[in-house]
Chain A
Amino acid sequence: QKEVEQDPGPLSVPEGAIVSLNCTYSNSAFQYFMWYRQYSRKGPELLMYTYSSGNKEDGRFTAQVDKSSKYISLFIRDSQPSDSATYLCAMSKSNSNSGYALNFGKGTSLLVTP
């Protein structure tokens, strides 16, 4: 079993919808949680970062972490066609000796249709 599980989709929604993207994980040592967005033929770009449990909001994006359930979410409000991309969750432990290695989910492909 991979440490990080993410439904690959694809997920197709109409413009303006609220999108919910999720990851589950098995290692309780993960402390830092990130969401990356990857457009086709591009490198992943950091979208949201959260430490430990709680919520973080940035414009139309909200990241949630529930460490008790080992579950993280990314919500996109008022989704736009430009949000069409693959979204990757990533997480790391607080351990300097490991180089803070990131564990990635496989990514969820999102398509927002006009």
Chain B
Amino acid sequence: DADVTQTPRNRITKTGKRIMLECSQTKGHDRMYWYRQDPGLGLRLIYYSFDVKDINKGEISDGYSVSRQAQAKFSLSLESAIPNQTALYFCATSDLFRGRGSNEQFFGPGTRLTVL
């Protein structure tokens, strides 16, 4: 079984709809991240969370919100989707106590979101 799973894998929605993307992990990591990937722009950080009680904005948090329901679950919401939020969304995890301090991150398979 995959260590980091994302649901749904694909989603098509309309402008103005509320969308939630979910991420679950079985790696036991404390840190979780949400990124979006766009052609020509690479991976950009939306939000990250150190633990259940900690949420931090990333580079491009406007228009998004997150919820860390448990150590293993981190969801991303688009309250009112717009077409320029069409992208590939990735969840990632890392382990504070891994010992290297390098923030090696492990990615899920991604959610392809299309906003019409």
In this complex, the interface size class of chain A, counting residues with CB under 8 Å from chain B, is 20 to 34
Tell whether, in the assembled complex, residue B50 and residue A99 are in contact, meaning their CB atoms are under 8 Å apart: yes
Tell whether, in the assembled complex, residue B103 and residue A44 are in contact, meaning their CB atoms are under 8 Å apart: no
Write out, one digit per residue, whether chain A residues 54-80 have a CB within 8 A of any chain B CB (1) or not (0): 000000000000000000000000000
Shortest Cβ distance from residue B69 to the other chain A in the assembled complex, whole angstroms: 19
Docked Cα-Cα span, A88 to B56, in Å, equals: 24
In this assembly, does A34 line the interface, its C-beta being within 8 Å of a C-beta of chain B?
A: yes
Docked Cα-Cα span, A10 to B36, in Å, equals: 21
CB < 8 Å: which of A6, A49, A99 contacts B102? A49
B53-104 CB contacts (< 8 Å) to partner A = 56, 58, 90, 92, 94, 100-104
Tell whether, in the assembled complex, residue B43 and residue A44 are in contact, meaning their CB atoms are under 8 Å apart: yes
Q: How many residues of chain B have a CB within 8 Å of chain A?
A: 25
In this assembly, does A104 line the interface, its C-beta being within 8 Å of a C-beta of chain B?
A: yes
| Chain B residues near A32 (CB-CB < 8 A) | 100-103
Docked Cα-Cα span, A6 to B105, in Å, equals: 19
Shortest Cβ distance from residue B52 to the other chain A in the assembled complex, whole angstroms: 15
In this assembly, does B31 line the interface, its C-beta being within 8 Å of a C-beta of chain A?
A: yes
Shortest Cβ distance from residue B54 to the other chain A in the assembled complex, whole angstroms: 9
Tell whether, in the assembled complex, residue A100 and residue B101 are in contact, meaning their CB atoms are under 8 Å apart: yes
CB < 8 Å: which of A42, A43, A51, A101 contacts B100? A51
- CB within 8 Å of B: which residues of A? 6, 8, 32, 34, 36, 41-46, 49, 51, 88, 90, 92, 94, 96, 99-102, 104-107
